[in-house]
Structure formats: structure tokens, C-alpha cells
Structure 1
Amino acid sequence: MSETAAAAPGGPPAKTDHRLTAAIVASALFMQNMDSAAITTALPAMARDLGVEPARLGVAITSYLVALTVFIPVSGWMADRFGAKRVFMVAIAIFTCASALCARSTGLPELIAARVLQGFGGAMMVPVARLLLLRQVRKDQMLSAMTWLTVPAMIGPISGPPLGGFLTDAFGWRSVFLINLPIGVLGLALVAWKIPRIPPGDPGPPDLPGLVLLGLALALSMFGLETLGRGVMPTGIPEAALVLGLMFGWAAIRHCRQAKRPALDLSLLRIPTFNLAVLAGSLFRSGAGATPFLVPMLLQVGFGKTASEAGLVSFATALGALAMKPLARPILRQFGFRRVLIGTGLLSALGVGVAAGFTPAWPLPAIFMLLALGGLFRSLQFTALNTLAFADVPTARLSAATSFSGTVQQLSPALGVVLATTALEMSASLSGHHTAQVHDFAVAFLVAAAVVAASTPFFARLSPEAGADVSGHALVVKRAPAE
């Protein structure tokens, strides 16, 4: 019996508690999100220890995100073939062990290799966690389930920056990775104890040619973007990598359009809500993804703050995001996906752009409040995008949809970091200095804000009733005339 068949057509089994399932699988997301948030605070200390420029250490983030992106397409097939619970537990174990290897790294190549292994574990964790949950909920429970999934996961970004700053100042940057070990062991125990087993199925052989083409396209493209114009590779290699990446990408798209069971199911883009949530959402995520990298770097490199101070301010964004989660459902119910995505997209762009005005003269509480406000709007946008993407996807195609959506979602923050580091280095080069100054960070924030704003015209193409079965907005619209 396949996992797809395990979910009854009318919804999950009556005894399924989607809130408990969401809270437990969110433990893995908590670990991953805390790790991602903590490492940005520790980057300047890592750069000093490893002897590299802080901006160039962005490769420690992008290598992880690229590995996530490369391996996510196979996660849906693995979950169907071996069982989602089993794959999820193996993924947690790999991520935890890779964290220990990161802590033992003595050079940048070794750190990058360990981060790639971490990315492999994370690629299995995030989409399979979402799949475990989606297979057990009805459409009218989906928004509630997503909230229960994301609220515990948001504790990671909240605790990550201050915890990363404190650990870096008190025990060194290696402790930022070691903290994952007890969390991973606890997560494994909870999943083994409480998450019901869903029998594996027979999804057929994996699309190996498609997976290879996609992996090469993504890896070469990101390598080219990360090294282009920075003098870290011999002349011509970054350009060649970009060209090869585009060629493999074109070949991958052609293959996936023709394959019977493609690594990336492009036919999902025919579903309007999935199309806009994934493609326009990726533009939003790329711009917004630059902010978690830029803020702690600005505070430490630009303002001279300690890692602890930077962490205590940086976590404001995640705190604002957590505050929005309980409000997301009533807001979406009242206004619908279309108006929420347009409005919060513009407000999020404004929030990112305001950071361009930060200077050392600004009081830290004022920066904290503005970052928290920006996190509030971005959180609502992320919740809307994550829910809308699956609103009209048939149950039988959830594995393919989670793989597709997960691939694009993880690629977007990687592009955001590349965007930020490129803007920083180009601005510094044009200004005639070798290290990033406060003015260069302002340029990077403005570029990121422009990318966020560019996503909003696409959301205007949504129907006012888009995703109404999930948000409940249709009931509000029908009731309004009578009132």
C-alpha cells in the first residue's frame, strides 16, 4: 500500500492528531532553522579563525543551501519508496552527525564539505516533514496544520541569533554546531515514539537522468554566481560554470517535460495557485533571504558590535514572525490570499529598504523594533505562500509537489545570500575599499528590497477567490451581502 493510498480520500484517520504530529516534526525544522540563524551571527568569528573575509564566508551558507536544493528533488521518491517516517529519522541522524563534523572543521574546504553533508540531511528533513503532515490533514485543516508546524519551527530563528552570539563569545563558533547534537537525539526519540508509521509504496524507479541533470544545473549555476568577479577562482572558471549550469538546466527542463516520472514534475505549474506561490514566491524569498545574512554582518562588521549584541538584535525579525503566526488564519480568512500577498509583499519590501538607513548612531532598540515589524509582515507572506502552494494540489501528487516546492524554496535563500554578498563586494569595489563599509550594506539592503517589491505584480494575477477552500475567505464573501 503506497503512502498516497494510506490517506483516505475523505481525509486522515479519525484518531490522527495533526497538531501533535506538526509539533513533533517541527522539532527537526527547529534544529535546522536554529542552525541557519545561529551561523549567520557566528560568521565574523569563523572568518577570523579560518583566515577569510567575512563576506566571502557566505559560501558556508550557500554550500549548505545548494546541497539542500540539489537533493530535495529525490526526497519525495525516497519517502514513497522507503516510508516517510523512516526517511525522516535517517535525515535527522545525518544532519546531527554532519553538525559534529562542522564543529571539527579546521579549514574552509573541510567546513564546506561538512555543510554539504548537512544539506543532504536537511534536504530529506524539511519536505518529508511537510509530507508527513499533509498526508494526515483535510483541506479545511491545512492552514491550522501549517501554523502548528511553523510556530515551533519559528523558535529556531528566534533563539538562533542570541544563542549563536552567546555561544560564539563564550565558547567559540564551534559550539554553535555542537548544540545540534542533543536536539537531534531528542527529535529522533520523539519521532520514533509518537509519529505513526505510513507504509512505503512502489513509486517506480527514480528519474536518475533528471536528478543528475538538475543537480549539475543547480550546483554549477550557484558555484558560478558565488565566485563570479571575486578573484577566488582562475579567470574563466566562474563564467564557464554559469554557462554549463544553464545548459544542464535547459536539458533538465526538456527531460522533465518528457519523462514519465520526472525528478521535477513541471506539470504542477499548470495549477495556477501552485505556479504563483512557487515562482513569484521564489522572487520574494530571494530578496527576503538576504536580510538574515546582512543584519548580523552589518551590526558586527559595520557597527563594531559583539556577536552577542548582534544576536540579541537580529532575533527581532523571528520574534515578529512568531507574533504573526496566530493572526495569519483570521487575516487570510478575512482578506483572502490575493490581497494579503500583495499588501504584505509591499510592506515587506519597505521593511527591508528601511534597513538601508541604519547607521551606528541608531539606538539598538529602534533597530530591534523595525526588524520585528518587518518580520511580522514577512511571516504572514511566508505562511500565505506555503499554504497556497498546496491548496489545489491533489493528494496523489503531494510528494511531487513537496519536492518541487522545497527545491525552489531552498534555492531562493541561497540566491538571496549570493545577491547580498555580490552587492556588498561590488559596492565596496566601486567605492575603492577592500572591506564592506556601512554604505555598502545600505546598497545591499536596497537591492534586496527591490527584488522583494518585484514579486508583488505577479500576485495581482491571482483570482480573488484563490485558495478560498483553505483560507475560508469564500464564507466571508458569501456572508457579507446578508450582513
Structure 2
Amino acid sequence: MKTSKHQPIEKQYRAILWLVAIGFFMQQLDSTIINTALPQIALNLNEDPLNMHGIVVAYVLAMAVTIPISGWVTDKYGLKKTYFAAIILFSTASVACALSHSLTQLIVARVFQGIGGALLQPVGRLTLLKVMPKTQLLAALSFVSIPGLIGPLIGPSLGGVLVEWTSWHWIFLINVPIGLIGAIFTLKILPDLKEDNFQPFDYLGFILIATTMLSLSFLLEHLTESRPQMTNTLILLGFAVIAAVLYYFHAKRKPTAIFAADIFNVRSFRIGILGNFFARLGNGAIPFLLPLMLQVVLNLNPTIAGLMMIPLALGSMLIKKYITRLVDRFGYRYVLTVNTVFVGLGMMSFALLSTSTPIWWQVIHFFLFGVVNSIQFTTMNTVSIKDLTHQKAGQGNSILSVVQQLSMSMGIALASVALNTFSQMYGKIHILQSFQYTFVCLGLMTCAASFIFFRLKAKTI
């Protein structure tokens, strides 16, 4: 009888897994609780609800830019100190968000919150890579993501209740008690692992990577304007391309580059990273678009709109324990190739929503999308890092986290560009049509990513 290469989690690792799960929970709660609150925040700050993506993009982009230093900081200062500092910074920035009285103040506070979040999730995942045996890695990643999915489960509905019955400021204050608990347990149970022979920080490489990401993000942000200037578009595009090319040659020459070029020689990592980027471009915009559509177009109040996200989160949670068996049975290539198409079709199916769609059908609809979404995230994350050596784990984990956040940031910006473009074409009176076409565009883009995963080796487990 064939023995599975994936094993259940041993009891000695469970306390650490729960601690990592707290970080995942904080980050996921904050990422989802704000989406339902965006229309109310816009109303309070006298802004257009369709132009509130900057609050989300600022957080995600700050994470993407900061993540490249997470591996080096962790190696130098150790897991315990880094994770503790991340929780404290995240919690403090949450208070600053709650005290904001303008859109500019809120965006600035979200940047600092994103810096804290840039260490929470990747350092948590890095903890698993350094502590867990490889045979238990998939089960461990699935385990910590389940409590992390509680954030999306209660986040949208909690955000809706808070903004409807109190004020939007409270959606950030909820992070404070959770952060205090996480900080205490970090000091008590997290091992203070650190690398004795870490390399000097690659400042030039970091500047080039940050320039590339910021230029691309500002480019997409510029395109959301009603009349983007061609000169500014070309300048931003030029900065992004030049910085990316310079980093490529920099990484080729410098063995200690922040992201070494030879890590992409690992086939599963190379394909997993590329697939992650393109699959998440469309997927990253869904948590932003759906609550906005439910409130602005379907006229649901914030509480009901938040509750509608619960079936999606439940579907994500309930399928988790079956993903390991699914991969053992069919392999990563088959699961990811087929499931990516299902995710894309699921996005396009949101174009069918209207004021006449029965609530019971929406519940089933969102639940099924949560199922395929959960399979997608867990499998493509695991296939990206499973074949890396211990020495490359830190870099690989950081690259994966950067790609996740950058693609999410760009996905939200792309969705905003599409939504604004269709709104200008059809007018605010036909805003439902604008949302429908946006979902179709995102779904088609996601379906195309299935060709990337098809390049994985057959029956790779």
C-alpha cells in the first residue's frame, strides 16, 4: 500500500501553530472587515465609494514593498523579536487608523499598518518552514489558515454591524485586544530561532525592487483617473521596466542579492510564483468588489452585505481538511489546472447577480466560490515552496508573500480601472452593467492562468 508523503501534525507543534494562526487571523480580519465599511467611510469623508480603493491598495502595497526585508530581519533578530515587533506595530497603526479624520490620514495610517502586516503573515509562514517537518508542512499550512479564515468569516459582517450601529473607527480598534494576546503568547512560546551566518542586507536590490513595485502601482492608480496623461503613464512605465531590468542584472552578478536569481531554477517554485501572480490578479479584487456591489448596486445595508460573505468563508473553511487528500489523489498539476478555471468561471458568474437574484441562490453561489478559492490558495502556495531547501526557504517565502500582495494590489487597481472605464462608458445609471463587465474581465484573466499550472510535472506530490 502506498504511503502518503503528507502526514498529520504532531502534538508538540500545535501551540506554535495556534500562535501563527493568531497573526493570520489579525491580518485577514483587518483585510476583510474594511471592505464592507468602505461605502460608509466614503460617506463620512465625503468621497465617492467607487474611488475608495486607495485605502485597500495603500495597505496591500505597503506590505508588498516591506516584505522583501522580512526574511533578512527575521534571520538577524530572530523569530520571536520580529513577530513580537510586527504585532505591536500592527496594533499601534490600527489605533492610528481609528483616530483618522480624513482620507489622507487614513491612507497614511494604513501604510504603517501594512508594514506591520508585512511581517505578520510571512514571518508566521517562515516559522512553519523552519520548525515543521516537510512531511507535515501541507497539513500545517492548512491548519493555520483555518483560524485565519475566521477573519473573513466574521470580518465583513462584523464590519457591517460596527459601521451601521457605531462608527467605522471601531473596525480598527478590534485589532488591539487580539494583538495584546498575540504579543503575550509570542514572548512565552515562540522559539527565538535566528540564522548565525546571515548575509549583509542588499540595499541596492531592495531599492530596485521597491521602485519596480511602486512604479507599477502608481501607474495603475494613474490610469484610474478620468483623463490620465500619456507623459506620466510613459514615465511610470519606464521607471518600472528600467528598475526591473537593472535588478535582473544585479541579481545575476550578486550571489547575496535580496532575491537570488538561482532560486528560480527550482521548477515548482518558478511555476508556482508565476501562477500565483496571474491567478491572484483577478482574485485579489473580489473581496473589494463584492461588498461594494452588494451595497452600491443591490442596495443591501452594511450588516446584510457583510453577512453575505459568511457562506464564502464557510466554503473556504470546510474544504480545507480535504485538500491534502485531493492533492495526494490527483497531484498538483491536475488540481491547479482544473481549479483555476473553476475560480475564473466563479468570478464571471458574479456578473449574473442582480436585484432579482434570490438570497438563497446567492448563499449557495458564494459558498461554492469559497470552496474553489480555498483549494486554489492552499495548493498554489504549497507547490511554490515545498521543494525549496532550508537555506532558500526564507527567500522563497518572502518572494511568495511579495507576489501575493503585489498581485492583490494590482488586481484591485485593475478592477478599479475597469470599473471606472465601464462607468464612464455606460454612466452611473447603469452601474450594475459596469460591475458585470468588470467581473467578466477578471474571470477571463484568471482562467488564462491555468495554462501556467499545466507546466507542472504530472502527479507532483
TM range (shorter): over 0.9
What are the Cα deviations for residues 34-55 of structure 1, in whole angstroms up to 9, with x where unaligned? 1110111000011111121112
Q: CA deviation at 1:229?
A: 4.7
RMSD: 1.7
| TM-score normalised by length of structure 1 | 0.91
Residue 166 of structure 1: aligned partner: 161
Q: CA deviation at 1:252?
A: 2.1
Q: CA deviation at 1:15?
A: 8.9
What are the Cα deviations for residues 32-89 of structure 1, in whole angstroms up to 9, with x where unaligned? 1011101110000111111211121101111111111101011000100110121011
Distance in 1 between the 2:285 and 2:10 partners?
42
Distance in 1 between the 2:430 and 2:48 partners?
10
Residue 393 (structure 1) aligned with residue 388 (structure 2): yes
Residue 415 (structure 1) aligned with residue 410 (structure 2): yes
Aligned residue identity for 1:409: Q
| Residue in structure 2 matching 1:370, options 356, 365, 374 | 365
Residue 82 of structure 2: aligned partner: 87
Aligned residue identity for 2:160: G
Q: CA deviation at 1:147?
A: 1.2
1:47-62 → structure 2 map (5 Å cutoff): 47-62=42-57
Residue 405 (structure 1) aligned with residue 391 (structure 2): no
Aligned residue identity for 2:22: S
| TM-score normalised by length of structure 2 | 0.95
Q: CA deviation at 1:258?
A: 1.8
Q: CA deviation at 1:364?
A: 2.1
Comparing 223-232 with 345-354, which one deviates more in the overlay?
Answer: 223-232
Distance in 2 between the 1:240 and 1:281 partners?
28
1:194-209 → structure 2 map (5 Å cutoff): 194-209=189-204
Residue 437 of structure 1: aligned partner: 431
Distance in 2 between the 1:267 and 1:329 partners?
29
Distance in 2 between the 1:229 and 1:134 partners?
39
Q: Secondary structure at the match of 1:437?
A: helix
Could you say if the C-alpha distance between residues 233 and 88 of structure 1 is closer, same or farther in structure 2, counting changes exceeding 3 Å? farther
Aligned residue identity for 1:186: I
Q: Secondary structure at the match of 1:135?
A: helix
Q: CA deviation at 1:311?
A: 0.3
Residue 284 (structure 1) aligned with residue 274 (structure 2): no
| Residue in structure 2 matching 1:264, options 247, 259, 262 | 259
Residue 156 of structure 1: aligned partner: 151
Residue 6 of structure 1: aligned partner: none
CA contact (8 A) 1:144 1:329 kept: yes
Aligned residue identity for 1:371: F
What are the Cα deviations for residues 205-224 of structure 1, in whole angstroms up to 9, with x where unaligned? 10000111111221121012
Q: CA deviation at 1:250?
A: 2.0
CA contact (8 A) 1:214 1:252 kept: yes
1:194-273 → structure 2 map (5 Å cutoff): 194-231=189-226, 236-273=231-268
What are the Cα deviations for residues 192-212 of structure 1, in whole angstroms up to 9, with x where unaligned? 222222145231210000111
Residue 464 of structure 1: aligned partner: 458
| Residue in structure 2 matching 1:333, options 328, 333, 342 | 328
Aligned residue identity for 2:166: F
Aligned residue identity for 1:154: L
CA contact (8 A) 1:265 1:404 kept: no
What percentage of residue pairs aligned between the two structures are identical? 31
What are the Cα deviations for residues 95-152 of structure 1, in whole angstroms up to 9, with x where unaligned? 1101111111111111111111011111111111111111111221111111111111
Residue 475 of structure 1: aligned partner: none
Residue 361 (structure 1) aligned with residue 323 (structure 2): no
Could you say if the C-alpha distance between residues 275 and 236 of structure 1 is closer, same or farther in structure 2, counting changes exceeding 3 Å? same
Q: Which runs of 5+ in 2 are unaligned?
A: 1-8
Distance in 2 between the 1:51 and 1:242 partners?
32
Distance in 2 between the 1:185 and 1:137 partners?
26
